[in-house]
Amino acid sequence: MLLPFQFILFFNIKSNYCQELFVLFFFVFSSLENFLFPGRIFFFLNPQILALKTCALTRTFSIIKFPGWMRQSVNHFKILLLCYTLTMQINIEKIIYPGKSLGRKDNKVVLTDSGIPGEIVECSCIKDKKNYIQGETNTVIRPSVHRKLPRCGHSHICSAYQYIDYEYQLKIKEEQLKEMLSAFEPKLFSLNLRSSNVIWGYRNKIHLHIITENNSTLCAYHTPGVKNTFTPIDRCFLASDLMNRLINGFLSILGRGLEKHVNEITLQRSQMSKKLLLCCFGPLRGKELDLLEPLFELGKKFSLAGIVYINKKRNEKNILLGKDQLSEKVAGKIFLFGCQSFFQINIPMLELLIHDLKNELPKTAEKNMLDLYCGVGTFAIALSGFFSNITAVDSSKANISFLKKNISTNAISNIEAVHAKCENWIKNARKKKPDIIIIDPPRRGMENALLEQIIKIQPGFIAYISCDPATLNRDLKKLVPGYKLRKIFAYDFFPHTPHIETLSILEKN
């Protein structure tokens, strides 16, 4: 308990480092003198400045393992810090990519986790940084007409825009794109965001962790930005009803003593066949896999295409039931894919992107095409009838394996599959003399080495498919001096999330 003789002294010291040193010094001092003073003395230095650091300090104290004789004082110190946590009211001006709500306090930018333009919110300070304050919204004082009640209880993890009505989400994303790409003469091309016809249950793949809380086995999403922290889910409305029912059925079987044998699961769905693939990750191998026989009940109940078990440490994959793959029909072609390969999660939007790609690229049987970060060959196979030779490159062994299957399934003879890192292999591309390069990199964008080589190769056309406008903006600035940016198409592949998919068409000057 805090004693009644609690003294709080205030000092106005401008140096942040001095403040932190003083606070920590007197915290340790009060711990050592715990029984020598009738009350504990804590020195708070310039309370407004110190308050901006309170949440960060309390979180730090929660992580550090203090010896027993210090724990009581640590808890007292945390209570005092929380009492002085700064809250502020701000007017939300806009939402910036990737999803932070921006306001101002005393002319300093405040970025908080929830807020629609025009709203007044009360938020707590999490961190006071040099150029902005990182906040956390506590209360919405004046709500927007566009505010909605999220359907998922964990929406801050799976889809941070669920609290905004869908039409206004599209407007926010369009404004973000126009602001981020303003350097590229936006009047020359359209930046209208193509909306998704299906905004719930559109994901064909989700990945979950298996955790235990209060003696209950649960499925959970990993909490972004926090190591080894997970958020349990009952159901996720971005996944189909069938996938959610499978999650519940899986947990009921896992609760029979199998929870130690599965650490993670991936669920995938085929829009074409309506079948599901269940992929489990865990430590079992060999005859130990017989322990998972109860999972076969799910195969019958949910008409699963297959159940796969993967031991990551040993890099071993075992098919427990059925097959290790699903099939999907896109742009008139059949694609096979598995839980360890990449395939777009929103099939109707993928069809639209391929349609735009076909319309914008020159189609002639005499041209050579290079498909970088090709995945299972979605674009290479969809465009195979328009070019004489196509080289498809990807660093994932699983992707290349399914690419070769898809080439065979669709009876295609003009695609060469290459298993290599794009940034390492690209030096060989000059021999191929590609007229057109399609690039679909991960969120981090293109490596500098890859970008430099593409500029040297000088293909006539480049189609850049991006899932991050920030890295797209960075890479376009390096490409545009030698290329004309003809068009940018934008797609809402991921409704209720901050993510934006784009297709940029560049033509050599």
Helix (H, G, I), strand (E, B) or coil at 282: coil
Out of 270, 294, 324, pick the residue that ends a domain: 324
The overall pTM is greater than 0.95 = no
Query: Which has the minimum average pLDDT: 29-33, 298-302, 307-311, 417-421?
Result: 29-33
Q: In the numeric block, which tokens belong to residue 392?
A: 């498809």
Assign 430 a pLDDT band (cuts: 50, 70, 90). Answer: confident
CATH of the domain at 101: 2.40.50.140
Same domain for 361 and 417, yes or no, is yes
Measured from the Cβ of residue 97, the count of other Cβ atoms closer than 10 Å reads 19
pLDDT over 90 for what percent of the chain? 65
Out of 37, 52, 79, pick the residue that ends a domain: 79
Same domain for 222 and 318, yes or no, is yes
d(CA 276, CA 222): 22
Same domain for 379 and 300, yes or no, is no
Helix (H, G, I), strand (E, B) or coil at 501: strand
- In this predicted structure, the answer to whether residue 443 has a pLDDT above a threshold of 80 is yes
Query: Which has the minimum average pLDDT: 163-172, 335-344, 424-433?
Result: 424-433
Assign 213 a pLDDT band (cuts: 50, 70, 90). Answer: confident
Summarised one tens digit per residue, pLDDT across range 116-156 is 999 999 999 888 888 999 999 999 999 999 999 999 999 99
Place of tokens 């499978």: 246
CB of 278 closer than 8 Å to CB of 298 = yes
Summarised one tens digit per residue, pLDDT across range 67-81 is 554 555 555 454 444
- In this predicted structure, the answer to whether residue 371 has a pLDDT above a threshold of 60 is yes
Burial label for 505, CB within 10 Å (0-12, 13-18, 19+), is buried
- In this predicted structure, the answer to whether residue 431 has a pLDDT above a threshold of 90 is no
Q: Which helix (H) or strand (E) segment is 194 a member of?
A: strand 193-194
Same domain for 382 and 303, yes or no, is no
Which of 111 and 53 is assigned the larger pLDDT?
111
pLDDT at residue 110, as a whole number: 94
> What single letter denotes the amino acid at residue 20?
E
Query: Which has the minimum average pLDDT: 10-24, 274-288, 391-405, 412-426?
Result: 10-24
Same domain for 260 and 293, yes or no, is yes
pLDDT at residue 14, as a whole number: 41
- In this predicted structure, the answer to whether residue 361 has a pLDDT above a threshold of 60 is yes
Q: Which helix (H) or strand (E) segment is 486 a member of?
A: strand 483-491
d(CA 177, CA 167): 16
Assign 509 a pLDDT band (cuts: 50, 70, 90). Answer: confident
Tell me what the mean pLDDT of segment 26-30 comes to. 52
Query: Which residues, listed in sequence order, are joined to residue 334 by a DSSP beta bridge?
Result: 329
d(CA 25, CA 459): 63
Helix axes 68-83, 16-32, angle to 10 degrees: 130
d(CA 357, CA 167): 26
Q: Is residue 443 part of a domain?
A: yes
Tell me what the mean pLDDT of segment 430-446 comes to. 91
Summarised one tens digit per residue, pLDDT across range 455-507 is 999 999 999 999 999 999 999 999 988 899 988 999 999 999 999 999 999 99
Burial label for 343, CB within 10 Å (0-12, 13-18, 19+), is buried
Which residue range forms the structural domain that includes residue 256?
205-324
- In this predicted structure, the answer to whether residue 248 has a pLDDT above a threshold of 60 is yes
Same domain for 214 and 187, yes or no, is no
Same domain for 247 and 293, yes or no, is yes
CB of 353 closer than 8 Å to CB of 505 = no
Assign 190 a pLDDT band (cuts: 50, 70, 90). Answer: low
- In this predicted structure, the answer to whether residue 432 has a pLDDT above a threshold of 90 is no
Which of 166 and 17 is assigned the larger pLDDT?
166
Which residues in 270-348 belong to E strands, given as ranges? 276-281, 306-311, 316-322, 326-330, 333-337
Tell me what the mean pLDDT of segment 228-257 comes to. 92
Same domain for 112 and 135, yes or no, is yes
- In this predicted structure, the answer to whether residue 163 has a pLDDT above a threshold of 70 is yes
Q: Is residue 335 part of a domain?
A: no
Same domain for 426 and 498, yes or no, is yes
pLDDT at residue 188, as a whole number: 52
CB of 356 closer than 8 Å to CB of 503 = yes
Q: Is residue 156 part of a domain?
A: no
Q: Is residue 1 part of a domain?
A: no
Q: What is the count of structural domains for the chain?
A: 4
pLDDT at residue 303, as a whole number: 86
Q: Which helix (H) or strand (E) segment is 77 a member of?
A: helix 68-83
Q: DSSP characters for 12-46?
A: ----HHHHHHHHHHHHHHHHHTTTTSSS-EEEEET
Start-to-end CA distance of the chain, whole Å, equals 74
DSSP state of 192: P
Summarised one tens digit per residue, pLDDT across range 380-396 is 999 999 999 999 999 99
Summarised one tens digit per residue, pLDDT across range 278-320 is 999 999 998 999 999 999 999 989 989 999 999 988 889 999 9
CA separation, residue 199 to residues 191, 203, 204, 243, 450 (Å): 20, 9, 13, 16, 35
Q: Is residue 378 part of a domain?
A: yes
Tell me what the mean pLDDT of segment 194-205 comes to. 94
Any alpha helices (H) in 230-346, and if so which ranges?
A: 241-254, 296-302
Tell me what the mean pLDDT of segment 82-101 comes to. 82
Assign 450 a pLDDT band (cuts: 50, 70, 90). Answer: very high
d(CA 96, CA 116): 11
Same domain for 295 and 418, yes or no, is no
Q: In the numeric block, which tokens belong to residue 430?
A: 């000059």
Q: Is residue 411 part of a domain?
A: yes
Out of 79, 105, 132, pick the residue that ends a domain: 79
> What single letter denotes the amino acid at residue 52?
L
Q: Is residue 330 part of a domain?
A: no
Tell me what the mean pLDDT of segment 340-365 comes to. 89
Q: Which residues neighbour 170 within 8 Å (Cβ) at sequence distance 6 or greater? A: 193, 195, 492
CATH of the domain at 466: 3.40.50.150
Looking at every residue in the chain, the average pLDDT score rounds to 84
DSSP state of 227: T
Same domain for 256 and 313, yes or no, is yes
pLDDT at residue 140, as a whole number: 95
Which residues in 129-185 belong to E strands, given as ranges? 132-142
Q: Is residue 163 part of a domain?
A: no
pLDDT at residue 71, as a whole number: 52
Helix axes 68-83, 54-63, angle to 10 degrees: 160
DSSP state of 285: -
- In this predicted structure, the answer to whether residue 11 has a pLDDT above a threshold of 90 is no
Same domain for 364 and 251, yes or no, is no
